[in-house]
Amino acid sequence: MLGVVAIYLLIINIIGFFIMGSDKKKAINNEYRIPEKKLFMVALMGGGVGTTIGMRHFRHKTKHWYFVVGMPAIAAIEFFLGFFLLQFFLTTFYSIKL
């Protein structure tokens, strides 16, 4: 079970990273852009860390306060939520204390 969740989080974060790069490339080339709502949806689906890293790496959406504040906030919430869920799962089913 934990392996499936870990693989999902890895994939969604890779998608989040590359979707930011793709949108940056589209912005440079004046092409049809990825809606901001979709960028946030990827982050909210567990890709907050990848999307935040992509935003910083590609220097994309760094002038929009709701991205500068929102993406790291989503990543932090997902990190802490994941930690507490992992702790709950391990203590409940495996009697392992963190």
> How much is the pLDDT for 1?
73
Q: Is residue 34 part of a domain?
A: yes
Contact status, residue 56 vs residue 75, Cβ threshold 8 Å: no
> How much is the pLDDT for 47?
97
Per-residue pLDDT of the chain (98 residues; tens, 9 = 90+): 778 989 999 999 999 999 999 999 999 999 999 999 999 999 999 999 999 999 999 999 999 999 999 999 999 999 999 999 888 888 888 877 76
Number of domains making up the chain: 1
**Residues in contact with 98: Cβ distance below 8 Å, sequence separation at least 6, in sequence order:** 86, 87, 90, 91
Task: Map residue 6 onto helix, strand or coil.
Answer: helix
- As separate numbers, helices (DSSP H) first and strands (DSSP E) second, the chain gives 4, 0
> How much is the pLDDT for 74?
98
Q: Is 2 exposed, middle or buried (0-12, 13-18, 19+ CB in 10 A)?
A: exposed
Q: Is residue 19 part of a domain?
A: yes
Q: Is residue 98 part of a domain?
A: no
Q: Is residue 54 part of a domain?
A: yes
> How much is the pLDDT for 98?
66
Long-range contacts of residues 5-11, Cβ cutoff 8 Å, at least 24 apart: 8/46, 9/46, 9/82
Residue among 10, 54, 61, 15 at smallest CA distance from 36: 61
Domain region containing 20 = 2-93
Two structure tokens written together for 27: 């912005």
Q: Is residue 33 part of a domain?
A: yes
